[in-house]
Structures are given as C-alpha cells and as structure tokens.
Amino acid sequence: MYRLYPWPEDPSRDEGKRRYYEALNKFKVAVKHEWMNKLINSKKHLKIIELCSGTGIGGIALSKILIENGKSVELKMLDARREALEKAFRFQLKGAWIQSSNSSGRHIKTRLLRGEV
C-alpha cells in the first residue's frame, strides 16, 4: 500500500518531522480530555501498543507527552515492514530527549515486533 500511496512517515525528513510535531501538539490536547486524563492519572506506568505503527511517529509522540506528564511508558510497536520498524527504533534512540526530558529518570521502554502479512 505504501508503494502505491506514499505517506510522510520518515522522521528524518521534513514531512515526517512536521507530522511528528503535529502529533505532539494533538496529544498535548488529547491528554487533557476528561476521560483520557482520568485514565492517565490512575496509573504510574502506562503500556501502549501501536498496531501498524510504521515508523512510530504517533506512539513516540504520545509517549513523550506522557513522560513529560511524569509517567513511565512502555511502547510496543508492531508493523509488517522491517524497514519501518528499524526507522522507528533509530528515531526513538536518536531522541535522547525522551529519556532526558524528565529528571525523575522516567523513560520510554520500546519493543519492536514484526508481524507477518
């Protein structure tokens, strides 16, 4: 599908970076919603699974926002494309800001899972 319809998912390119920052801004608003805020505040450690994750822009953006709100996050990303998961892993690793953004030592624990199509 991605060969037929290109999707800006590479976080190292301008379009991908733009999507990432848009996702950050949307999640900053979403976590303030009453039901989501109640769910988030009921736990110290949150587990997220992102299906069809691609390069993980959404999951990594949500994780960053949650970490900035004092949470510990475990993110699992699942995609059929190995290349996309490798980019996701590099993007998350390159983002030392995730691990250093919170002085309490909270960080993102990432697992990449490749599914068969």
Give the residue-averaged pLDDT of 86-115: 58
Residue 13 confidence (pLDDT): 85
Reported pTM? 0.79
Q: At what angle do helices 14-30 and 57-68 cross, to 10 degrees?
A: 50
The answer to whether the beta carbons of residues 47 and 40 sit under 8 Å apart is: no
Would you identify the CATH topology of the domain 14-114?
A: Rossmann fold (3.40.50)
Express each pLDDT in 15-38 by its tens digit: 888 999 999 999 999 999 999 999
CA distances from 5 to 1, 2, 11, 26, 55 (A): 6, 5, 17, 24, 16
Paired tokens of 77: 């990303």
Q: Where are the domains of the chain?
A: 14-114
Express each pLDDT in 44-78 by its tens digit: 889 998 888 888 899 999 998 998 888 888 888 88
Q: How many CA atoms lie within 13 A of 46 on its CB side?
A: 28
Q: How many CB atoms lie within 10 A of CB 85?
A: 21
